[in-house]
Amino acid sequence: MTLFAFMLYFLHSCCFFGDFISKLIKYQHQELIPMETLATSVTRFFLQKHYIEPDQAEWFQYGLIRRMIGSLTFLLLLPIGAIFVGWIGSFLYLYSFRFLRTRTGGYHAKTPHGCLLTSLGTMFAALTLAKNLYSPLLIGAVLFAAALCIFVLAPANNASLHLTANEITAIQPRAWLRLAGTVLIGSLLLYICAPLASCMAVSLLAVAVMLVLANLGLGAQ
């Protein structure tokens, strides 16, 4: 392939990728209104059935919307990740990331669009790194270094969560248990399929970076 042909191909790929991302953002924006309507309806139903107290309604609705956005983001990012590391690698990265984040917390963008772009940028950087981790020793180093960082910093706390000391103490063992399970599976994969282990290693690294950013006071507070 000549340099000129490569440049044309690169420009075409960038235009296609940019158009694809803009469509993702537009699609997510269109989906937000039905999500909010559904979350409001579910919250109202739970209030009527006395499953939650009135003072819990706002927090319940917020959590429901966050989970809906998270699920939608997962489905949108899964095929993009598959381009880099295949479907199994993409699933392992995204599932491990979400599995840990629901207990560890970390950096959160201030808007749903920012959340999508942050998730996309993080995945792009992480999976690019995963494709260049050839040595099992290096993969293991990333895996355990990230795990140590998560162990020390999790769970994240900020003004919007305002977790008490007792709540943090209650959450920590759950976060550590999930972390231990993820590290164990990643370690086993090192001996079975190193490329898949690298996907899990960079997933932990991404969680660790999100925790560092949150502890620096960045993102939604």
Q: Could you tell me the pTM of the whole model?
A: 0.75
Q: How far is CA 98 from CA 12, 121, 133, 155, in A?
A: 32, 16, 22, 14
> Look-up: residue for tokens 């996309």?
120
Q: What is the distance between the alpha carbons of residues 25 and 131, in angstroms, rounded to a whole number?
A: 26
Q: Where are the domains of the chain?
A: 17-215
- Which residues make Cβ contacts (< 8 Å) with residue 69, sequence separation at least 6? 28, 32, 35, 112, 115
Q: What is the distance between the alpha carbons of residues 24 and 211, in angstroms, rounded to a whole number?
A: 26
Q: pLDDT 10s digit of each residue in the chain, 221 long? A: 443 443 333 334 434 444 455 555 555 555 555 767 778 888 888 888 888 888 888 888 877 877 887 788 888 899 999 999 999 999 999 999 999 998 888 877 777 667 778 888 899 999 999 999 989 999 999 999 999 999 999 888 765 556 677 777 888 899 999 999 999 999 999 999 999 999 999 999 999 999 998 888 776 64
